Structure 1
Amino acid sequence: MNCQCHVSSKRFSNSRFIELKDGIFIVGVELCALQAATYLPFRELVEYYFELCGVYSLGTGSSTSYNERFALTSTERLKQFFNSITRCDGLALARKAIQCVRDGCRSPMETAFVMMLTLPKSEGGLGIKGIETDYEVQVTAAAKNLTRRKKFFMDAYLKKSRTDIEYNGLYHDAEEDRAIDEERKNALASMGYGIITVSRYSFMHASAFVRVMEAIQRKESIRPSRLPKDFQIMQEDLRQFVLRRFIEEKKRIQKQLRQDSEDRQQIDLEKATLEGITLDDPTINEVRQSMTCRLSNPTAHHLPK
């Protein structure tokens, strides 16, 4: 078990601790979140808070695997706790980080994209405050004949521009999924909502991602003149950060595929060598032709000595 020990002169109520067994306690989720602010950098802290308030749990190490679960806490509970105390290590950073967090993200990739929208411009984000995740919208009478659904859940809803940001991962290519997406798009459009779709490809490739973010900036009326001088560099740096596990996984897969290909080539070469030929032997055709001629003349084996 990986444990982090902390020493604090601050007194906390018993409700901030969880008793494992007689005389052995661990800190509760909110206090753990505060303590994390004493050693995690800002971006990692925001990412960690997203996980606490989301409905997924990351695997250990650099793995991209995750499990679904109920949210461990909420942004409201964290804010209330942070605002209830004063003069505590990590408190200022914790209060800053929680402002960028939203409830209910369903996967690490959703968290990664929402961080691109909520983090401050000085960090490479768009600094959008009016955004809600897992936002519920009831289908109105005007749209009821356009969809089989009674309600929709938006991955990220931009209140100012009434825009639904939808992240489509690996499993949105099936014909039925595309039909459902089209119904959703038509229904939401009739209800006055705009939709911007973000594919895994566009998130993983820098040039495509810039175009997606430009579309969002226009929807939210974020003028380029109000962005930092080196904003695109900072934005790309942030993209690389939030996708670091996925980028490393892609590199591992590509390396394994190259290794598998090299192994197959080596096996083919060794097999050919054992059979007495090499794959690049220019006389291989001559050998085959000679064998064919000998087999086509069966009397050659019975000539007198």
Structure 2
Amino acid sequence: MDIVIGYESALAYWRSVGLGFLHDSKARRRATLRAQKALAVEEKPQLEGGNFRPAGCGLPVHTLVGKDVLRTRTKSVTSSVWATLPERSIIDAGMGFLMSSPEFCFLQMATRLSLAKLIQLCFELCGTYAVVDDGSSRERSAPLTSVTKLRAFVQASSNAPGRTKALRALYYCMDGSASPMETVLTMLLCLPYGLGGYGIERPQLNYQVDVPSSMRSVTDRAYCKADLCWPEAKLCVEYDSKKYHLDPERQESDSRRRNTLVVLGFTMMVVSRGQIADGGAFNRLAKQIAIQTGKRLRYRDPGFTRKHLALRDELLETLHEAE
């Protein structure tokens, strides 16, 4: 019996596996047809062989069923009803497990998460990192999906639960974040006042700045990457991660890269987790960035500060200090 997996279990799976498990459009179409047949079976899903399950999936495994009477809640399996599957929404994970795609998982999680957490998840799925169980992260070679792909999938899923919230979250999401703290920093700076952000113009994430051939003699590289970059304002903002503090080679490379950006005329600002966690320090940082980018801040206190601190605490609550 095929088992269709979704929600938190699908998210845990995609945080555990590599890009090779995404499969192409034809394979997704075949897997979705299999999954639709599995949802039509008049039998409650259950795990076999000592609760054997896909990579990353803890217990209970969250499954999808076609009817309310087939829902189950045991130590091994819990389920939700999803009678009609969106096109190409399922991927064959092998061994009889049919996995919700990253796009379908995002739509499902819109019914579980707050708007801020959903935006944060969107950045992760469209970025080059994955959050793991202890709140730390691991690097990905490429994103699982993109804002464009997510939006197309959600828009095509008419009348699906969570669709309205998912589309709203996508309005604020960006491609290219390389770490959870880059995501937090971007959200705190750029979300609108009503959501607790400072409403600053969105930067380019991990933006490539090419070194002109005329400057190659004074640099050691052909280009530089900047965490958050406002190219027109010639401003780069970098998150100073503790993850690399003990790596002298990485520190040396970062130092040379930042020096190169300064030579190219960019203003460099470096942000620590301490600055993000300190309300007063972050407020000063936001004002400095606003000046550099030509943004006039017009928030009203004390209401805005309460919203901002609530947003900060929500975004940081599950992230490990080592980031």
TM-score, normalised to structure 2's length? 0.67
CA, structure 1 residues 194+22, in 2 after alignment: closer, same or farther (shift >3 Å)? same
Match for 1:93: what amino acid?
Answer: K
**Residue in structure 2 matching 1:193, options 260, 266, 269:** 266
Deviation at 1:228, TM superposition (A): 3.8
In 1: Cα distance, 2:245 partner to 2:215 partner: 23
Q: Identify the match of residue 88 of structure 1 among 160, 167, 170.
A: 160
Report the equivalent of 1:152.
Answer: 224
Shift of 1:150: 1.3
Quick one: distance in 2 between partners of 1:218 and 1:103?
25
The equivalent residue for 1:107 is: 179
2:86 matches 1:12:
yes
More divergent stretch after superposition (31-40 vs 128-137)? 128-137
Percent sequence identity is 30
Say if 2:128 and 2:177, in contact at 8 Å, map to a contact too: yes
Q: Deviations over 1:82-137 (max 9, x none)?
A: 23332322111111112222223222222221221232221111234532211111
Q: CA deviation at 1:200?
A: 2.9
Counterpart of 1:245 in 2: which secondary structure? coil
CA contact (8 A) 1:64 1:245 kept: yes
Structure 2 unaligned spans of 5+: 1-57, 63-78
Amino acid in structure 2 at the alignment position of 1:29: P
The amino acid of 1:67's aligned partner reads R
Residues 90 and 146 from structure 1, CA distance in 2 versus in 1: closer, same or farther, beyond 3 angstroms? same
Question: Could you tell me how far apart the structure 1 residues matched to 2:90 and 2:254 are?
Answer: 45
1:178-216 CA distances to partner (integer Å, 9 max, x unpaired)?
665554344323434322211233223333222211111
- 1:66 paired with 2:140, answer no
- Aligned amino acid, residue 207 of structure 1: G
- Aligned-residue CA RMSD (Å): 2.7
Q: 2:235 aligns with which of 139, 143, 163?
A: 163
How many angstroms apart in 2 are the aligned matches of 1:129 and 1:96? 18
Alignment counterpart, residue 238 of structure 1, candidates 296, 307, 311: 311
Q: 1:183 to 1:67 in 2, by over 3 A?
A: closer
- Alignment counterpart, residue 170 of structure 2, candidates 83, 98, 110: 98
Q: Which residue number in structure 1 is paired with residue 65 of structure 2?
A: none
Q: Is the 8 A contact 1:130 1:160 kept in 2?
A: no
**In structure 2, C-alpha distance between the alignment counterparts of 1:177 and 1:119, rounded to whole Å:** 31
User: How far does the alpha carbon of each residue in 1:8-28 deviate from its partner, in whole angstroms, 9 at most, with x for none?
Assistant: 344422x21112347642211
User: What secondary structure sits across from 1:20 in the alignment?
Assistant: strand
Q: Which has the higher contact order (CA 8 A, sep 6+)?
A: 2
How many Å separate the matches in 1 of 2:84 and 2:185?
A: 36
Q: CA 1:179–1:28 in structure 2 vs 1: closer, same or farther (change >3 Å)?
A: closer
1:141 aligns with 2:223: no
Once the two structures are TM-superposed, the CA of residue 69 in structure 1 deviates from its matched residue by 2.3
For the pair 1:217 / 2:271, whether they are aligned, the reply is: no
Q: Distance in 1 between matches of 2:210 and 2:120?
A: 30
Distance 1:163 1:42, change over 3 A: same
Given candidates 192, 201, 209, the residue that maps to 1:120 is 192
Distance 2:281 2:268 in 1: 17
Q: How many residues matched?
A: 245
More helix as a share of residues: 1
Q: Which amino acid aligns with 2:82?
A: S
Q: What are the superposed Cα offsets for residues 233-266 of structure 1, whole Å, 9 maximum, x if unpaired? A: 322222222222358x69xxxxxxxxxxxxxxxx
Letter in 2 for 1:65: S
Letter in 1 for 2:306: I
Highest CA radius of gyration, 1 or 2? 1
Residue type matched to 2:211 in 1? V
